[in-house]
Structure 1
């Protein structure tokens, strides 16, 4: 029953998904599973899902602006952003709403055309700054309750890819990709 309710909510969001021009992603708990690994020298390591990365590349190809907005510090996040060609990688952000509004102003995209995927209470603070607030399946309960929709996948385990596919399907861009595949070309 819960799954049917979640799918119904997603169906209602199809129009909103077609209007998204800026997708902003929290990092820890969204692009990663939230775990932090430290090596013997105290260097931080994070695990990113490669399918999430391809989902982001597909969204870029379809014209979406993408950004990472994280309270954590750079390092692995900066490296992953460079690997994916994410132009806006905002790390060490303690108060997310002002940073998000500044980003929207910089790229010239309104709150209504912005979607945000976060997993915890500090992400709930951006609610008034976005048209769509989304959560992975394992997001904090208060965020899941106030989100426009909750993804079926957990953070760091396909949530971003699921969202990418939902956006591409809503825009009518997924069918050809699913049939023909995708090639990363230098054009």
Structure 2
């Protein structure tokens, strides 16, 4: 997101983004396009967008904690989290409770959390956090509770849009882009 686009965003959205200290992301449908491939051995295969991965790394490097929270358990998501050096919680049935535990661990409030998700498993977390974000292809029942909707679809750069918003709201874009502040 170019610096100039930050001026086009709603002031409330920018205030919410500036408070975020913990960025949580659903995996399937958010960091992936939602499709799950199974090979003949029953092994799961997923495709992750490299732009999203760079965004998650940038958040981590600039002091925003990143946690992937997924209802599914699977080695592909765990390997991706390990590769990006971000935390993952797999097999989570109650994402709202998981986010609450992370807040308690960090000593922060739910208003300092962003959560990106796309379907009903993410709904209660959406209702609780300070910044709920839905990719363009999120299911309508969940998307209507989002504070912001990305232009990109899940697995196609949607997470990067949120990362760029957070980095911009925190004032990190000039340093990242090598622009004078």
- TM-score normalised over the length of structure 2: 0.90
Question: Which residue of structure 1 aligns with residue 101 of structure 2?
Answer: 102
Structure 2 counterpart SS, 1:125:
helix
Looking at structure 1, the residues matched to 38 and 155 of structure 2 have their Cα atoms a distance apart, in angstroms, of: 18
Looking at structure 2, the residues matched to 57 and 120 of structure 1 have their Cα atoms a distance apart, in angstroms, of: 25
Post-superposition offset of 1:9: 6.0
Contact 2:25 2:115 in 1 (8 A): yes
Alignment of 1:34-45 (within 5 A): 34-45=34-45
Question: Which residue of structure 2 aligns with residue 46 of structure 1?
Answer: 46
Q: Displaced runs of 4+ in structure 1, greater than 6 A?
A: none
Q: Which stretch has the larger CA shift, 91-100 or 26-35?
A: 91-100
Post-superposition offset of 1:128: 3.8
Matched, 1:115 2:136: no
Contact 1:32 1:157 in 2 (8 A): yes
Post-superposition offset of 1:12: 3.1
Q: Given the superposition, is the C-alpha separation of residues 79 and 10 from structure 1 closer, same or farther in structure 2, using an over 3 Å criterion?
A: farther
Structure 1 counterpart SS, 2:144:
helix
For structure 1, list consecutive stretches of 5 or more residues without a partner in the other structure.
1-6, 181-187
Structure 2 counterpart SS, 1:126:
helix
Post-superposition offset of 1:8: 6.3
Looking at structure 1, the residues matched to 11 and 106 of structure 2 have their Cα atoms a distance apart, in angstroms, of: 28
- TM-score normalised over the length of structure 1: 0.87
Q: CA RMSD in A?
A: 1.6
Q: Deviations over 1:7-66 (max 9, x none)?
A: 966443111111100000000000111010111111001100011000011111110011
